[in-house]
Amino acid sequence: MPLDIRTIPCLSDNYAFLAHDPATGDTALIDAPEAAPILAVLDETGWRLTDVLLTHHHYDHVDGLAEILAAYPARVIGAAADAERLPALDVKVAEGDTITVGEETATIIDVSGHTVGHIAFHFPASKAVFTADSLMALGCGRVFEGTKPQMHESLQKLANLPADTVVYSGHEYTAANGKFALTIDPENPDLISRVREVAEKRASGTPTVPSLLSEELATNPFLRAHDPAIQAHLGMEGANATDVFTEIRTRKDNF
């Protein structure tokens, strides 16, 4: 039975997620931007929080943790590589490790770039990946600590997951990302129609997260550095995808 996943808006534009295993009742929280909205969903559902999965150390992904742990003594899982900057971890993980939430297994993917030590959690049976500030809807996180080639490599790992995987990313940045994407890939009909759908959703206050990986592959410029139309638009025909990605990410930094 797949995980039952709830998207929880937090702070001004963050998302946290609860992933509940109906078979065992175990429930994981993915990131803890602030306690109140998360505790409210736990109250409303009656789900028992058993695990907290942390993607990276930024305050807007961990600041609610202490208050949540005071209410639920859950197991905290995060990157071994970032253990000294994360809140106290019960389980330290690295690329290729697996963890379980109830009867579901997740594989850890190192997606360093935004920070060094940023990880994603892939639940293949539930076709879900929690990417926070690595792969985002129509975008990717700013490269604060790693290098742009490293971010490209990280995103390629996510791009290679099954295309029907649902991408649970960390922020509602999709409308702004779409505006930028159109400057890179202006003729892409899938992008044009997606940007229109995003505007409609935002006008009615509907989250644009999660999104489908197949949709990101078709429209997210950060997954499309190999695309001939994008390369031509940038005057980079035949360039290697890492260089094209670096150019796209640099343009976004200055957008």
Instruction: Please confirm, yes or no, whether 122 is among the known catalytic residues.
Output: no
Residue 172 touches Zn ion, criterion: CB under 5 A: no
Which contacts qualify for 23-27: CB closer than 8 Å, 24 or more apart? 23/102, 23/103, 24/102, 24/103, 25/102, 26/50, 26/51, 26/101, 26/102, 27/51, 27/101
Only segment of 53-61, 64-72, 205-213, 219-227 that touches Zn ion (CB under 5 A): 53-61
Nearest distance from C-beta of residue 82 to Fe ion, angstroms: 14
Residue 60 binding Fe ion, by CB under 5 A: yes
Alpha carbon 20 to its chain centroid, in Å, reads 18
Beta bridge partners of 9: 15
Which is nearer to Zn ion, 95 or 145 (by Cβ)?
A: 145
Of 50-58, 148-156, 183-191, 227-235, the window that binds Zn ion (rule: CB under 5 A) is 50-58
Q: How far is the CA of 123 from the CAs of 85, 100, 108, 120, 134, in angstroms?
A: 25, 9, 9, 10, 17
Q: Is 60 a catalytic residue?
A: yes
Say whether 207 sits in a helix, a strand or coil: coil
Residues near 219 by Cβ (< 8 Å), separated by ≥ 6? Answer: 138, 181, 185, 188, 190, 191, 194
Select which of 51, 60, 82, 110 is catalytic: 60
Q: Which is nearer to Zn ion, 62 or 230 (CB)?
A: 62
Q: Which residue is nearest to Zn ion (CB)?
A: 58
Active site residue 43: no
Neighbours of 157 (CB within 10 A): 16
Cα–Cα distance between 196 and 183 in angstroms, integer?
15
Task: Establish if 133 lies at the interface with Fe ion (CB under 5 A).
Answer: yes
# residues contacting Zn ion (CB under 5 A): 2
Question: Quick check: 58 binds Zn ion (CB under 5 A)?
Answer: yes
Question: Does residue 57 bind Zn ion (CB under 5 A)?
Answer: no
210: cis peptide before it, omega within 30°? yes
Q: Which tokens in the block code for residue 236?
A: 């980079």
| Catalytic residue (one of 21, 51, 56, 122) | 56
Q: How far is the CB of 30 from Fe ion (least distance, A)?
A: 13
**CA–CA–CA angle 240, 244, 250 (5° rounding):** 150
Q: Which is nearer to Zn ion, 171 or 194 (CB)?
A: 171
Q: Which does 26 bind (CB under 5 to 8 A by kind): Zn ion, Fe ion, none?
A: none
User: Does residue 26 interact with Zn ion by CB under 5 A?
Assistant: no
Given the rule CB under 5 A, which residues bind Fe ion? 60, 133
| Residues labelled as active-site residues | 56, 58, 60-61, 114, 133, 171
